[in-house]
Structure 1
Amino acid sequence: MAPRRDRPLDGIGSVKVKFGVLVGLSIVAAALVSEIGDRAGVPPWLTVPVTVAAALAVTQWLARGMTSPLREMTHAAARMATGDYSTRVTATSADEVGTLARAFNTMAVDLATADQQRRELVATVSHELRTPLAAQRALLENLVDGVVRPDDAALGSALAQSERLSDLVADLLDLSRLDGGATTLALGPVVVADLVDSAVAEARIARDVRFVTTVSPGLVVRGDAARLAQVVVNLLDNAARHSPAGGEVAVRAGEQPAGEWFLEVDDDGPGIPPERAQQVFSRYWTADEGGGTGLGLAIARWICELHGGSIAALPPLADGRGARVRVVLPRDPQPPATADPEEPTMTAPASPAVPGPPARPPLPDPLPQPLPRPLPRPLPAGDGARAARTTLTESIFGVLWPEEGPRTAPLQLFGALAVGTFAAAVLPERPLGLGLLLVLLLGGALVLRSSVRRARPWTLFSAFLCLGLGSLVVLRAAEWLAVLGMLVAAVLVTTALTGARRLVPMVAAAAAWVLAAVRGLPLLGRTLTATSSHRLLWPVLRTAAVSLAALVVFGGLFASGDAIFGSWVAALMPDLAWDSLILRSFVLVVVAGVVLTGCYVALNPPRVERLGLPEPRPVARPWEWLVPVGGVVVVLAAFVTAQASATWGGHDYVRRVTGLSYADYVHQGFGQLTVATALTLATVAVAVRKAPRATPRDRLLLRLVLGALCLLTLVVVASALFRMSVYQQAFGYTVLRVLVDAFELWLGLVVVLVMVAGWRWSAAWLPRAALASGAAFLLAIGLANPEAWVARQNIERYEETGKIDTHYLATLGPDATPAIVEGLPASLARCAVGVPDGARTGDLLSWNLGRERAAGLTPAGGADRTGCP
């Protein structure tokens, strides 16, 4: 079978070589894409995902078909367990997997043939047994009732029926020995003339035909006399049964060169069609007339092969009448290898060990009226059924992320490509602004449209918060604020798409967006396969791509070779340097990939709620958790006491005890207090898992201790905020300090939420409430314009103390420019206003409210730091 075009490695004859080529080309593709991005100046945060995507794409393309035969074999084996042998494996590769697949198909054919033969045997034996048994029963009933007298004729009829049953049982026993290979040959001299005369005499009794024999005089051979007699009897019985009444059966035997002899039987029957010449020697095969079990010729073939000879159906004679069967045997056969003398069984077939060429596997034996194949049993709903349809990605992700979405997703695929193309056109070479907001809205709308949970309240609320966070890219010029907003929005999106409610599932949901790049490959492959069969779509896309490439190549050549033509091209086309094209290509891949993976999570969300911490194992004695948590409470109480003494004692007390100024004292421990607040929340979580809650007394004790711990933690939060306020008044305000203040305040809010959850004795809503409050905090900070607020606070401090850090104010973005220009004298404003970034504020897609308000507010003389404090 020729390798398929969509499986490029099928022609390689070794799995190890395939894996080597696969790894090597993937590394080459990744290195090439990384080098192109580096030389074009593409930032690493764009280069790395595109490099990984290129390596995965090459791997997926080259690996197509490498493991599919194994998955097909797993499915086919599961079907075979239900009685369905019709499934075949696609074997196109030349390696070990392809060889295994072809061997599997051969085994499936053999099993199907054996199953067909078994069913035909049951049908045939049932038919054969029914007639003599019915006749015997009728005869016996007549004898019992006195209808028939037990004379010689009646007893002869009963004897004939009994002999028929005996013949059938003998055939079945011979077949059993044939399958088990347990029969050996008793070799000795055999006079062929006597062998033929004896068989003819036996056949002449039951058949009204004339037998004509021709045997070479004095022909003596070595063989098993009983088995050879069985061959001749079966051949004569078969010929007589198919000959008309009064017909003639010719038997000839003689010598052949090379130490062989032959036996040929001809009859006057309808003959054997050439296409059935091999089938007649198959087990259970019967013609349309004549009856029989279909075992006689099969047994004859077995005996001939056991002697090292052969049997075949010859073409008819010139007159076209009758069947001709010829047996060729060695005159002195070698004894075959002996087999296990135990009685063989019908269910353990084995090929007889005989010298000479092995027998061909029998062709399927059709019945004149084939029996209907029973319907296969359904696969069991368990590991076997799951294994039958397991793919590589499902084996990696398991039951946490099964394939339950649609078979194809063309809308999501082409929608993601459209969003990526739009992003590649509007984002590069522009600052954050309206263009980015449009990209976020388009991608978010596509993901929300694909979500199976789009109508749920939490999804709608998350979409509202994401819309607010996304609007910060046009309201504020601070890039750090836009990045934080998009990160929080991503967590909101994944939580809404997966329905995560607890902390561990929320973390897993966030990771699912990245892992969807691997988990969604089967859906992407099916979608590409389905769309590639479209009669119009891909020809149009292919034609457009080829046309665009031709225009770029020839247009670039003529534009560089002729100045006038080049000016026309420059007037019609934007500046598309190679670096710009590469950057835009990277943006297209990254944005389209992010949107496409988000759509996959929306279409087929993982079961993240199955993840979680192990079941809590509360301690047996309350003091085991009460002592460590009580120690933390005592430490916090001591800290609160120290803070109270510092507050009541004032600056002199702090300096006398510590030797530090009050500003240095409050700055010393802010970071530690923030960490202590976070650790307190972790302590509460651990105590809830370890403390026993079986009795009302246990629950009351837990509430009291953890409530005291949370109240003291709120005092720590207040102390930290107070310390930062004093420090900023002394040393100035910065955006980082404001963000740390906001983070500490949010931790305090989480502590309050924990207290509410403990009071209600229900915390299922707590993780989502914490996430929503954090997103709301960030949105409020963005709307409050933190850089402008910091600038105003520093200006107010300057008015009170005469101290100002113009170097730091110059690092603030355009959001702070109006506050600086309005609040400081022009001489200081020139020092405090940052250097303009040269953004094209006239471009609608780069429009941003912060930059728009800052435009034109640069002090007279521009930003000049000469002589600045």
Structure 2
Amino acid sequence: MSGPLDPIRSVKFKLGLLVAASVSVAVVVATFGAANDVPMWLISPVTVTLALAVTQLLASGMTSPLRQMTVAASRMARGEHRTRITDTSRDEIGDLARAFNAMAAELEQVERQRRDLIANVSHELRTPLTAMCALLENLADGVSEPDPAALRSALAQAERLSALVSDLLDLSRLDAGAAPMEPEPVAVAALLESAADEFRYDDRDVTIAVTVEPADLVVEADAARLRQLVANLVDNALRHSPAGGTVTVKATAAGDDWRLEVADEGPGVPAESRDRAFERFGTLAETEGGGGTGLGLAIARWVTDLHGGSIGFVDPEPGRTGARVLVTAPRHPSPVPTGTSKEIPMAPTRTPASPPPQPPLTPLPSMTDSLFGGFWPDPGTPGRPRLLGWALGVGVLAGIALPFNDLGLGTFLVLMAAGLLMLFASPRRREPFTITCALLCTALASVAVIRDAEWIVILCLMAGGGLATVALTGARRLPTFILSAMSWPLAGLRGLPWLSRTLRTLTGTGNGIAVLRTALWSLLGVVVFAALFMSADALFAEWFGALVPDLGSADFAVRLFVAVAIAGIALAGAYLALNPPQVETVRWDNRPVAKRFEWLVPVLVIDAVFIAFLVAQAAAIFGGRAYFERTTGLTYAEYVHQGFGQLTVATALTLLVVWAASHKAPRETAADRAWLRGALGLLCVMTLLVVASALHRMSLYQEAYGFTQLRLLVDVFEGWLGLLVLATLAAGWRLRGAWLPRFGLLSGVVLLLGIAAINPDAWIADHNLDRYESTGKVDWYFLAQLSDDAVPTLESRLGADRDCVLTAVRPDPGSWLEWNLGRSRAEHLGVTASVNAVYDDPCPGQTAD
């Protein structure tokens, strides 16, 4: 696939263009947002996201050749030489890619020749060796007599082996470039007669006829190599000639060239086999019934190339049959300085007409692989255009429903669309834990439709996001819960390669830049011509204005930024669901300590501190308030207020200590397990007493100073910690606590839903009014700040003091996207809580708690 910057011939210029484009996009987006009063917390992430997207789009293909080379080099090290890399870029990296491909092609050819050589040499050597061993074994066992015929047969096999070894040595010298050419005047007639004489006195009943025209033909050639050429051609012709046949050797002059023909009367060579006959071990046994090593013609071809000529099989002369080899060479090759030699490498083996198919490439490592490593691999996750379209739809819905509307039905619809997107993309969507989390997330999102108190709605939304990441990643431990929560924002970076693959899939051919270019030109055409027609025709301007939003308005700018931001978040969540990080593969050092005292002594010390604290608590209870105030110098209210936060932290730290000790304590022996249960069990029991003390203090503090959202939250949080301590006791008794982290997560979510279910603002208002009726003290200012969820309670409980916190309002239907039950009930009553009422007419019992 070619990249958008491939035609540029300089890497430096590419990088400069890339930086300029990214910075330009960032400046334009940030300026547009600032000019339309978009909040900076919304401008920043959108600007960074769009700049990264432009960078990813323009940088596509810039570094892929380097990453492909990494994969190809590792495959070539394993012996796979068919891998090729993309070389469409015209810069320095593209030049390197083309050089790499050329090197890979050469190595592939060399490797193929090496394998063919080993296979064929093994085959050719095995035949004479097998025959010779069988003959010698018969002679040694006395099966055959050592008569002249048997010895001649053994000699023939030995000579065949010797000839084969000689040919192999010649080829090795040729391949190494160690076979020089030393041209000199050579009388062709004498050379041919001498070569023919070597074969006229063997056992083959074949006549050799030599003809030279003119008879005094002299050529410039390497005599030894030329004699080797003739000998190999004549030997090949003799082996394929029938008994009583004739081998014709003819040399003629042809201008500045000369020709050598060697013809026999055998079966001949089919046209489709003529080129293959000159390859190494390219024997013609299957066509002519002959034998041989298949190296003679390959050496003949090399000698011909060495002299600057050509060789090949041609059709026999009219009226004749058999094979006919024609060699054409210059009579006077290029001159060579005295005392030097000319070395020409042997012609490579003919490559096939069509190269063998390449094996499938290993998925290329993306630029983010080095950052995330094995923690978050991306094995070429295929593009999913449907998920991209769904995420964009979630962004458009968010741009319509969220800006300028309070949390309500629109918020719920956006959350459900995003949640369904991630659930649909997740391969874990059928697991019981994932289904449970999906139901809880739906319940958390529905709080936006039921409650008007933003603090509980936001807490539920944050809890839903964290719960969704745990469900998508399949985390099971507390550290992996944290990694899962961090993975959603990181998915925006990790998913960039997947986004590129999705865009390539969407465009069909991978021309993402072409699609973007087309979209920009189309948008420009619409803007230009629409502006002209709107200025020319008022009716068209009215129609067009009704269909298209005002692109320059602040309202549209905010909606656009929200849409882009939410679409990016939804797309990151979709990638997180589709390819979650391997959080459970991250391991810490959980090896037990070597000695028991290494974990036991610190735990026993903490136990002792807890015992001392509980003794002090008992003394404070039984000694009475006078003894406490005399001893500490603090009032009881100050004492209660001072201690609750510290006790909450102590409870959380105790759970951390239990977790760490349980991972470090050895469990091999019964004594180890007994000490583990005893020390940690005692610590958990004393922690339950601390939890009870903290809850008691908070109860006293609320009775003295009133009830608030924060005090309710910390009360529930401390109770949740106490529940976790009880669960830890149960897990510790059986020494099996794999279920404990998920139990803690789900129980926390359920408790948060429980807070939302009791209508917390109404519950707080009700208890503060109970305190007002019993003590005459209340913070009207605080009650006036409560959400509309508390309005029905305040309306029903307040009599003459009703105007201290409630103000009559005219029902405002507002947008259906911001509807929720709390606001609807307040609007039905026609009142709302108002801070201004307190200052207009101070009310009795006002406190500043």
Normalising TM by the smaller chain, what interval?
Answer: 0.7 to 0.9
Q: Is the 8 A contact 1:830 1:863 kept in 2?
A: yes
Q: Is the 8 A contact 1:235 1:265 kept in 2?
A: no
Match of 1:342 in 2: none
Deviations 1:91-140 (A, max 9, x none): 21234443343333333433443344445556766786788789989999
C-alpha separation between the residues in 1 aligned to 2:508 and 2:547?
36
Query: Which of these residues, 46, 49, 52, is aligned with residue 50 of structure 1?
Result: 46
Secondary structure of the equivalent of 1:755?
helix
Secondary structure of the equivalent of 1:310?
coil
What's the Cα RMSD here?
Answer: 5.0
C-alpha separation between the residues in 2 aligned to 1:721 and 1:557?
72
Q: Is the 8 A contact 2:549 2:556 kept in 1?
A: no
Shift of 1:678: 1.5
Match of 2:846 in 1: none
Query: Which of these residues, 322, 326, 335, is aligned with residue 323 of structure 1?
Result: 326
Q: Is 1:515 matched up with 2:514?
A: no
Query: Which of these residues, 235, 254, 260, is aligned with residue 265 of structure 1?
Result: 260
Shift of 1:766: 0.9
Instruction: Structure 2: state its 5+ residue gaps.
Output: 319-323, 844-849
C-alpha separation between the residues in 1 aligned to 2:515 and 2:371?
37
Query: Which of these residues, 159, 176, 179, is aligned with residue 180 of structure 1?
Result: 176
Aligned amino acid, residue 230 of structure 1: Q
Q: Is 1:60 matched up with 2:34?
A: no
Shift of 1:434: 0.6
> What percentage of aligned pairs have identical amino acids?
48
C-alpha separation between the residues in 1 aligned to 2:21 and 2:585?
38
Q: Is 1:780 matched up with 2:783?
A: no
Shift of 1:438: 1.4
Query: Which of these residues, 424, 431, 434, is aligned with residue 409 of structure 2?
Result: 434
Judged with a 3 Å threshold, the aligned counterparts in structure 2 of structure 1 residues 864 and 649 are, in CA distance, closer, same or farther, namely closer
Judged with a 3 Å threshold, the aligned counterparts in structure 2 of structure 1 residues 65 and 567 are, in CA distance, closer, same or farther, namely closer
Judged with a 3 Å threshold, the aligned counterparts in structure 2 of structure 1 residues 265 and 124 are, in CA distance, closer, same or farther, namely farther
Shift of 1:436: 1.2
Match of 1:610 in 2: 585
Match of 2:821 in 1: 849
Secondary structure of the equivalent of 2:389?
helix
Q: Is the 8 A contact 1:404 1:604 kept in 2?
A: no
Shift of 1:779: 0.9
Judged with a 3 Å threshold, the aligned counterparts in structure 2 of structure 1 residues 208 and 799 are, in CA distance, closer, same or farther, namely same
Match of 2:847 in 1: none
Secondary structure of the equivalent of 2:86?
coil
Shift of 1:476: 1.3
Secondary structure of the equivalent of 2:588?
coil
Instruction: Structure 1: state its 5+ residue gaps.
Output: 257-261, 337-353, 380-384
Q: How many residues align?
A: 822
Query: Which of these residues, 776, 789, 795, is aligned with residue 815 of structure 1?
Result: 789
Deviations 1:655-686 (A, max 9, x none): 33333332222222332222222212222222
Task: After TM superposition, list the pairs within 5 Å mapping 1:132-281 onto structure 2.
Answer: 166-183=162-179, 195=191, 197-202=193-198, 208-213=207-212, 225-234=223-232, 248-251=248-251, 264-266=259-261
Match of 1:312 in 2: 310
Shift of 1:194: 5.0
Match of 1:259 in 2: none
Match of 2:566 in 1: 591
Match of 1:351 in 2: none
C-alpha separation between the residues in 2 aligned to 1:800 and 1:504?
48
Tell which deviates more after alignment, 649-658 or 166-175.
Answer: 649-658
C-alpha separation between the residues in 1 aligned to 2:248 and 2:575?
78
Aligned amino acid, residue 853 of structure 1: R
Shift of 1:620: 0.9
Judged with a 3 Å threshold, the aligned counterparts in structure 2 of structure 1 residues 332 and 472 are, in CA distance, closer, same or farther, namely closer
Match of 1:382 in 2: none
C-alpha separation between the residues in 1 aligned to 2:616 and 2:398?
56
Tell which deviates more after alignment, 747-756 or 83-92.
Answer: 83-92
Q: Is the 8 A contact 1:69 1:101 kept in 2?
A: yes
Judged with a 3 Å threshold, the aligned counterparts in structure 2 of structure 1 residues 520 and 835 are, in CA distance, closer, same or farther, namely farther
C-alpha separation between the residues in 2 aligned to 1:68 and 1:781?
53
Secondary structure of the equivalent of 1:865?
helix
Secondary structure of the equivalent of 1:11?
coil
Deviations 1:415-449 (A, max 9, x none): 22322222222222211111111122222223223
Match of 1:493 in 2: 468
Task: After TM superposition, list the pairs within 5 Å mapping 1:608-687 onto structure 2.
Answer: 608-622=583-597, 624-687=598-661
C-alpha separation between the residues in 2 aligned to 1:100 and 1:451?
41
C-alpha separation between the residues in 2 aligned to 1:553 and 1:333?
76
Judged with a 3 Å threshold, the aligned counterparts in structure 2 of structure 1 residues 189 and 546 are, in CA distance, closer, same or farther, namely closer
Tell which deviates more after alignment, 667-676 or 520-529.
Answer: 520-529
Shift of 1:763: 1.1
Shift of 1:777: 1.4
Judged with a 3 Å threshold, the aligned counterparts in structure 2 of structure 1 residues 35 and 686 are, in CA distance, closer, same or farther, namely same
Match of 1:832 in 2: 805
C-alpha separation between the residues in 1 aligned to 2:840 and 2:347?
99
Match of 1:744 in 2: 718
Match of 2:733 in 1: 759
Secondary structure of the equivalent of 2:309?
strand
TM-score (norm 1): 0.79
Q: Is 1:92 matched up with 2:88?
A: yes
Shift of 1:54: 1.9
Deviations 1:630-657 (A, max 9, x none): 3322222222233333334444334333
Q: Is the 8 A contact 1:76 1:388 kept in 2?
A: no
Secondary structure of the equivalent of 1:93?
coil
C-alpha separation between the residues in 1 aligned to 2:218 and 2:546?
106
Shift of 1:326: 0.4
Q: Is the 8 A contact 1:504 1:613 kept in 2?
A: no
Query: Which of these residues, 756, 762, 768, is aligned with residue 742 of structure 2?
Result: 768
Aligned amino acid, residue 832 of structure 1: V
C-alpha separation between the residues in 2 aligned to 1:839 and 1:51?
40
C-alpha separation between the residues in 2 aligned to 1:852 and 1:132?
102
Aligned amino acid, residue 228 of structure 2: Q
Q: Is 1:730 matched up with 2:715?
A: no
Secondary structure of the equivalent of 1:210?
strand
C-alpha separation between the residues in 2 aligned to 1:721 and 1:126?
89
Q: Is the 8 A contact 1:532 1:538 kept in 2?
A: no
Judged with a 3 Å threshold, the aligned counterparts in structure 2 of structure 1 residues 625 and 84 are, in CA distance, closer, same or farther, namely closer
Secondary structure of the equivalent of 1:211?
strand
Tell which deviates more after alignment, 485-494 or 648-657.
Answer: 648-657
Q: Is the 8 A contact 1:272 1:323 kept in 2?
A: no
TM-score (norm 2): 0.81
Tell which deviates more after alignment, 158-167 or 755-764.
Answer: 158-167
Query: Which of these residues, 709, 712, 722, is aligned with residue 686 of structure 2?
Result: 712
Secondary structure of the equivalent of 1:618?
coil
Q: Is 1:413 matched up with 2:384?
A: no
Q: Is 1:445 matched up with 2:420?
A: yes
Q: Is the 8 A contact 1:240 1:249 kept in 2?
A: no
Q: Is 1:524 matched up with 2:479?
A: no
C-alpha separation between the residues in 2 aligned to 1:394 and 1:171?
52
Shift of 1:771: 0.8
Deviations 1:189-239 (A, max 9, x none): 977775455335446667645323357969697x86534532454466678
Judged with a 3 Å threshold, the aligned counterparts in structure 2 of structure 1 residues 587 and 618 are, in CA distance, closer, same or farther, namely same
Aligned amino acid, residue 854 of structure 1: A
Aligned amino acid, residue 265 of structure 1: L
Shift of 1:472: 0.8
C-alpha separation between the residues in 1 aligned to 2:52 and 2:229?
65
Secondary structure of the equivalent of 1:94?
coil
Match of 1:425 in 2: 400
C-alpha separation between the residues in 2 aligned to 1:610 and 1:316?
69
Q: Is the 8 A contact 2:473 2:583 kept in 1?
A: yes
C-alpha separation between the residues in 2 aligned to 1:688 and 1:796?
46
